[in-house]
Chain A
Amino acid sequence: MQTFKKESIDQVLAAWAHDAVVYVPVSQAGSKEFGRWSLNTRPDFTGNTRLSPKGLMFLQTESMYSYTVTEGGMGVVLEEIDHKPARQVIVGIRPCDVQSVQVMDEVFLTKGYVDKLYKEKRDHTCLVALGCLSPLPTCFCSSMGLNPMAAPGADLMMYDLGDSYGIIPQSEAGEALIASLGGLVLDGGQVPAGNPCTLKVDTEGLTAKLQKMFEHPLWNKVNQKCLACGTCTYLCPTCHCFDIQGKNKGDEGYKFRCWDSCMYPEYTLMAGGHQPRSSKKERLRQRFLHKLQYMPERYHAWGCVGCGRCLAYCPVQVDITRFMRDVKEVAIDG
Chain B
Amino acid sequence: MNEMTLKIREIARDLLERGEVKRVIGWEKGTFFYQSTPFFAETPADTDRLIWDDYCLNNLAVYLLDFRYGEEKVALFVKGCDSRGVVRLIQDQQFPRERVYLIGIPCPGLKDAAAAANLPADSEVPLAEKCRTCTHKNPVLFDILAGPQVPAAKMAGDHFAGVRELEAMDPEEKFGFWQSQYGRCIRCYVCRNACPACNCRECIFDQTAKEWLSKEVNGTNNQLFGMIRAFHVAGRCIDCGECERVCPMDIPIMRLNRKVIKDINELFGDYEAGTDLEKLPPLGLYSADDPEEFM
Note all chain B residues with C-beta closer than 8 A to A30: 181, 184, 249-251
Query: Which residues of B have CB within 8 Å of A265?
Result: 206
* Cα distance A245–B66 in the bound complex, in angstroms: 29
Can you name the residue of chain B whose Cβ is closest to the Cβ of A233? B188
Cβ of A137 under 8 Å from chain B: yes
Interface 1/0 per residue, B214-225 and A, CB below 8 Å:
111110000000
Docked Cα-Cα span, A234 to B186, in Å, equals 8
B233-276: which residues lie under 8 A (CB-CB) from chain A?
Answer: 245-246, 248-251
Stretch of B14-22, B29-37, B95-103 contacting A (4+ beta carbons < 8 Å): B29-37
Count of chain A residues near B, Cβ 8 A: 43
Complex Cα distance A316/B57, Å?
10
The chain B residue sitting closest to A199, CB to CB, is: B31
A315 near B246 with CB under 8 A, answer yes
A60→B117 contact, CB < 8 A = no
Could you say which residues of chain B place their CB within 8 Å of the CB of A227?
A: 62, 190, 193-194
Judged by a CB distance under 8 angstroms, whether B208 is at the interface is yes
Q: Are A61 and B248 in contact (CB under 8 A)?
A: no
- Within the complex, what minimum Cβ distance (angstroms) separates A308 from chain B? 10
List of B residues within 8 angstroms of A261 by Cβ: 188
Given contacts A30-B250, A227-B62, contact A60 B186 (CB under 8 A): yes
Chain A at the B interface: SS class: loop
Binary interface encoding of chain A residues 278-315 relative to chain B, with 1 for a CB under 8 A from any of its CBs, else 0: 00100000000000000000000000000000011101
Return the contact of A224 from the options B40, B58, B248 (Cβ within 8 A).
Answer: B40
Residues of B within 8 A of A (CB): 30-32, 35, 37-40, 58, 62-63, 66, 117, 180-181, 184, 186-190, 192-194, 206-208, 211, 214-218, 245-246, 248-251
Show 15 A/B contacts (Cβ-Cβ < 8 Å), sorted by A.
Answer: A29-B181, A31-B250, A50-B249, A60-B186, A199-B31, A230-B188, A230-B189, A234-B188, A245-B208, A245-B215, A258-B217, A265-B206, A316-B38, A317-B30, A317-B31
A residues near B (Cβ < 8 Å) are 28-31, 33, 50-51, 60-61, 137-138, 199, 221, 224-225, 227-231, 234-235, 243, 245, 247, 256, 258-261, 264-266, 280, 311-313, 315-317, 319, 321-322
